[in-house]
Structure 1
Amino acid sequence: MTLGSDLDVARLAISVLDLTDLGDDTTAEAAAVLCERARAASVAAVCVWPRFVPGCVAALDGTPVRVATVVDFPSGAEPLDDVVEQTAGALRDGANEIDVVLPYRALLAGDTAAAADVLDAVCGLVTDAGAHMKVIIESGELPDLAAVADAAQFAIAHGADFVKTSTGKTPVSATPDAAETILEAIRAAGGAVGFKASGGIRTLADARTYLEIAERVMGEGWATPATFRFGASGLLDALQSVR
């Protein structure tokens, strides 16, 4: 299945991009620049630390660009009360999307209750706010593709609007094999959940690879901002260079 020309792929990839700045030393000024770039390029969303949500919401007011933030990030091991407080605060500040790290170590250890408590709490808050929950399963830290499938299924069962591969903070982030496994889990669950590839996606060729997997598994035309996202910081430059 083909997606067409490089320019077609670049345009589609820009439209589904969560333009991201989760650097440890990033600043409010950098977040403001991120919003300017997002507005000019008409990406799907920006993804920033919770403290920058209010400024991004103000900067993007009146545009279709959504504001995403992260909780339980990047460890997936923060106390439940802290995750609830982070989520509630971000939603009060106007975040449209919450990217929450699945407590994947707890899940791997068999503590499904602890993992479920986090996702269920975040899901409840997000649903009440009319926002979306993206669950980061940290696929590069899972032992094999069977564990990736299990984590994706768990995320879907606990209310994920999107299943996201990675935080981008581990040695292995998104991979084509993990993407295909997650997408197969989404298809098996009825296809109503979206997919986000994040971490290490830097080139047009990378973007084409993941979009082609989505088309092969989910069908032609499935990838839209409502169902598919890229989380990346440097990808926009590569896509905008395509002529």
Structure 2
Amino acid sequence: MSRISESDEVIAQKALRLLELTSLNADDTAERIVALCQKGLTPVGDVAAICVLPRFAGLARRTLDGLFARDIKVVAAVNFPSGGAGIATVESETEAAILTGADEIDLVFPFRAQMAGNRHIGRAMVAACKALCGERATLTVTLETGVLRDPQTIHDVCRTVIREGAAFLKTSTGKQIISTTPQAVRILIEAIAELGPHVGFKAAGNVRSLEEARAYIEMAQARFGPFWLETGKMRLGAASLLDDLLVQLGVSP
């Protein structure tokens, strides 16, 4: 049952622990990524992960290690944001990111190919990335639900991704007109309940405020229970959410 009576402070603390602090801009610089890593260590607790482009994976890992924050994961987003690269390119991105320090790979599913009727490439790409990750890295697959849009299509992609070994399903890159919605999160949660109780999910894109974070936390909690709210099962991917959470927790951003 959803614990809708939980205070803003309690929800903010939960959201902070689940936060995947993100910077995935074409103009990102080394200085910006170092600052992002530093921001992830707050007076009221550390975020779960830092998500960056593959070329910054090594820098993020070294920076976090230098801050004695080895528990904060480094996530490298590959095939980002268009989902349009070929499998060989994605494999190259993935291998390089892992070798330089990524703990997790976030693969953007080839959503436009899926919409065009090519269902083979998505399955093959997820399988290829999973094989490269092996025991070295955790695999997230970003579905881009705002483009896939149709509930049955989203559910079918979830099934494919789970069967090919993804550890997390993620809603969105945040780079499309429609990003995360409660309906999309509900579809992912139900697919996990049906096929992949070992699989987690990430709500990302349009998660900017405490109230938006609350909605997704309560949906997960209602379906799976409070013990499911840990970083190996749920994340909130966001660039600006942290500031709102800190204000709720009495800390100046």
Pair in the same fold by TM > 0.5: yes
Q: Deviations over 1:31-89 (max 9, x none)?
A: 00000011334100000111111111111113211100111111111011110000000
1:23 match: 25
1:153 match: 159
Contact 1:75 1:101 in 2 (8 A): yes
- Superposed, 1:185-204 pairs within 5 Å as 185-204=191-210
The residue type equivalent to 2:38 in the other structure is E
Question: TM-score of the superposition, structure 1-length normalised?
Answer: 0.96
Give the Cα separation in 1 of the matches to 2:120 and 2:157: 14
Alignment match of 1:42 (pick from 43, 46, 59): 46
Identity of aligned residues (%): 38
Contact 1:191 1:218 in 2 (8 A): no
Contact 1:104 1:151 in 2 (8 A): no
2:146 match: 140
Alignment match of 1:216 (pick from 214, 222, 228): 222
Question: TM-score of the superposition, structure 2-length normalised?
Answer: 0.92
Q: Deviations over 1:131-188 (max 9, x none)?
A: 1110000000013111111111111111110000001100000001100110000000
Alignment match of 2:90 (pick from 70, 83, 86): 83
The residue type equivalent to 1:12 in the other structure is K
Q: Using the TM superposition, name which of 197-206 and 60-69 deviates more.
A: 60-69
2:128 match: 121
1:182 match: 188
Contact 1:165 1:196 in 2 (8 A): yes
**CA offset at residue 220 of structure 1?**
2.7
SS of aligned partner of 1:19 = strand
Can you give the 5+ residue segments of structure 1 that lack an aligned partner in the other structure? none
Give the Cα separation in 1 of the matches to 2:9 and 2:134: 36
**CA offset at residue 114 of structure 1?**
1.2
1:57 corresponds to 2:58: no
SS of aligned partner of 2:176 = coil
**CA offset at residue 128 of structure 1?**
4.0
- Sort the Cα spacing of 1:143 and 1:72 in 2 relative to 1 into closer, same or farther, 3 A: same
2:179 match: 173
Contact 2:162 2:196 in 1 (8 A): no
Contact 1:202 1:235 in 2 (8 A): yes
